[in-house]
Amino acid sequence: MSERFIVTGGAGFIGSNLVAALNARGHEDIVVVDRLDPAGMKQRNLDAVTYGEYVDKTEFRERFRVGDVDVPVTVFHLGACSSTTETDEDYLRDNNVDYTRELCEWTLGHDARFIYASSAATYGDGALGYNDAHDGIPALQPLNAYGMSKQLFDMWALESGTIDRIVGLKYFNVYGPHEDHKGDMRSIVNKAYAQILETDALGLFKSYRDAYADGEQMRDFVYVRDAVAVTLFFHDHPDLAGIFNCGTGQARTWVDLGRAIFAAMDRESNIHFIDMPESIREKYQYFTEAEMSKLRGVGYDAPFTSIEEGVRDYVRHYLSV
């Protein structure tokens, strides 16, 4: 009998890439749960993969509440409102916290594996570092309502003891194919490619801290295929549980990323610096870098893709096609 999977957010960015990776393993009995966008961009993501059933997220929530869902071997809960500018806290609590808790309890009640997307946004401004040890979770102070919603579920999992039976992944700055539907939440690689095509130049934010030159702000950029590989690692190792960072452990500058994009497009770098909107200056993160010793300590030993290699693959095999 083939293994059955549920992937919420399966028409989205990481989710559709995960479904593709499951297909590459020979799995097609996959229930994709999502909410399609009017522009049809998520449908294009679905058209690129094979799955058994698509269910709208509202219908799915109603169905598992009444027991009208066949039990899978693993639920990959990647669906959430991921907008860092969303301000409706009631919506975020219902969609990102309550829904996740309900699905987690249903999954564990049927002895299935539950792997969910937390977020590096829970680390806030990084003043407390980026260590994924459980004892540091209560002190974290996210900078926005989205990050807080992810923190609230992490806290519930920790305080209820559920975290010892599930896996949460704190994805850092993920980029790669099938993110077009994300609008302003798309990666800078996706946005910059279009900007460079149009203007032959790339504008990056100026720095407002003396410790960082313009464009030298740093992020932990993760190619989506690596994020998927880490996610599947925890399906393959059902004895593992807890909250883990999903980054590379090596921060790179925005200038590094910009140069990688120009190189992938076979163009000379042409980077200039623009004013950062005042509305985000006080909450802007100047440095993120995942502490990766915990993931490495449980046996994940695959190398991570450099931004030069990842951007080249993304640009040449997806964006420019």
Listing DSSP states for 183-239 in one string gives GGGS-HHHHHHHHHHHHS-EEEEPP-STTS-TT--EE-EEEHHHHHHHHHHHHH-TT
How far is it, in rounded angstroms, from Cα 178 to Cα 78?
14
How far is it, in rounded angstroms, from Cα 185 to Cα 183?
5
Q: Would you name the residues annotated as active-site residues?
A: 146, 182
How far is it, in rounded angstroms, from Cα 83 to Cα 104?
22
CA 123 to chain centre: 14
